[in-house]
Amino acid sequence: MPTTTRAAVTRSKGVVEIEDIRIEDPQPDEVLVRIESSGICRTDLEIIDRTVDLPLPIVAGHEGAGIVEAVGADVTTVTVGDTVALGIASCGTCPRCRSGHPTYCDNHVPMNFTGLRPDGSTGLRDADNRPIHAHFMRQSAWAGYALAHSSNTVKITQDVDHAVLGPFGCGISTGAGAVWDTLGIEPGTSVAVFGLGAVGQAAVMAAKVAGATTIIAVGNRRPKLDLARELGATHTISQADGNVEDLIRDITGAGVQYSVEAAGKPRVMTTAVDVLAETGHAAITGVAPGQTFPVDAWKMIRGRTVHGTTLGDTPPAVLLPRLVELFHQGRFPVDRLLTHYRLEDIKQAIEDVEDGSTVKAVLHP
């Protein structure tokens, strides 16, 4: 029996409207999840503004969490009634998946990024029974229900407020995974974090958990700098304070051992490399396709490394429970980043994300 629900549908550039939709029953490798929380992430907005060119009409949303309502015949990892958070999907059989790096799955695009299942079908219909593109990151979680995949549905066992769980799956994972897994930041080290949205604030929290002793948050809005300070930054720098590289060298002497670029801006990526000490490591965490940034080749000769990372290079089944446990213990206060909205108020939520007045908007169907 198809499930009837409401979803935020984009039918033309820049427009998102709440509609009644129908979701078909899960296929053998799928999980039907009743969505309780769903974050708004930059990539969702790039679908709406057509920077990311997925076919229309489409339901976006890729930071979903909720309760399992039904499972396909082949799903063994979750069962009806489980609380789950949704991450990125992967094939499980390519060399990247088999070597423990499913965020770099060879089938990343067909699994996550076409608006259809890999077989070309869609499980969503509008009120007139016309197909709607979905399955974005195998969720399309801006809806009352989502068809997730066995590979991206992670059981959460901790007794935590479900309202916070959605954003764990992308933005929070990206910032934390970049610090712990991509960079492997050790206790007693120095790190600079550029950009203080959800990814950057998660990187600050993760650096504190990892034991970094100099954590420099760089941004351009005072409230976000103040928040970073409360979450673990030992120093904050506003871009209005002067030359960021000089200011970081005033604090660290030789430069930082690690940097995380979470602003998504090529010129900031260059700065994230320039502020490194020799043998330092920079991680770049997100950018729209087709952009480049200059790097001083001599600085690279001096032992520096630039890492790109997708979702922190950690399997969701490993990272999501780790993050939720730290939240449960009060050591990763993700709730401090969140502003909550009803799904019906998505236009207001998007406005608040775009003007920077909220760090992470979370929708509740």
Which residues contribute to the site for Zn ion (CB under 5 A)?
41, 43, 90-91, 94, 97, 105, 170
CB nearer Zn ion, residue 43 or residue 310 = 43
State the alpha helices, DSSP H only, in the chain.
Answer: 42-48, 95-98, 108-112, 171-177, 198-210, 222-231, 244-252, 266-274, 297-301, 316-328, 346-354
Q: How far is the CB of 194 from Zn ion (least distance, A)?
A: 18
Integer Cα distance of 35 and 41 in angstroms: 16
Integer Cα distance of 149 and 1 in angstroms: 19
Integer Cα distance of 306 and 283 in angstroms: 6
CB nearer Zn ion, residue 271 or residue 358 = 358
Please tell me whether residue 218 adopts helix, strand or coil conformation. Answer: strand
CB nearer Zn ion, residue 91 or residue 359 = 91
Q: How far is the CB of 91 from Zn ion (least distance, A)?
A: 4
Residues in the chain: 365
Dihedrals phi, psi of 292, to nearest 5 degrees: -130, 160
Q: How far is the CB of 262 from Zn ion (least distance, A)?
A: 12
Q: How far is the CB of 125 from Zn ion (least distance, A)?
A: 26
Tokens of 164: 């916070």
Q: How far is the CB of 319 from Zn ion (least distance, A)?
A: 14
Long-range contacts of 353-360 (CB under 8 A, 24+ apart): 353/40, 353/45, 354/45, 356/221, 356/224, 359/196, 359/197, 359/198, 359/201, 359/224, 359/227, 360/39, 360/40, 360/167, 360/171, 360/197, 360/198
Q: How far is CA 312 from the centre of its chain?
A: 9
Integer Cα distance of 293 and 286 in angstroms: 13
Nearest to 90 by CA among 34, 149, 33, 168: 149
Nearest to 17 by CA among 355, 347, 339: 347
CB nearer Zn ion, residue 43 or residue 314 = 43
Q: How far is the CB of 304 from Zn ion (least distance, A)?
A: 27
CB nearer Zn ion, residue 90 or residue 122 = 90
Q: How far is the CB of 97 from Zn ion (least distance, A)?
A: 3
Integer Cα distance of 247 and 237 in angstroms: 8
CB nearer Zn ion, residue 147 or residue 198 = 198
Q: How far is the CB of 170 from Zn ion (least distance, A)?
A: 3
Q: How far is the CB of 238 from Zn ion (least distance, A)?
A: 26
CB nearer Zn ion, residue 35 or residue 273 = 35
CB nearer Zn ion, residue 275 or residue 284 = 284
Radius of gyration of the chain (CA): 20
Integer Cα distance of 86 and 337 in angstroms: 19
The DSSP 8-state label assigned to residue 13 in this structure reads T
CB nearer Zn ion, residue 97 or residue 216 = 97
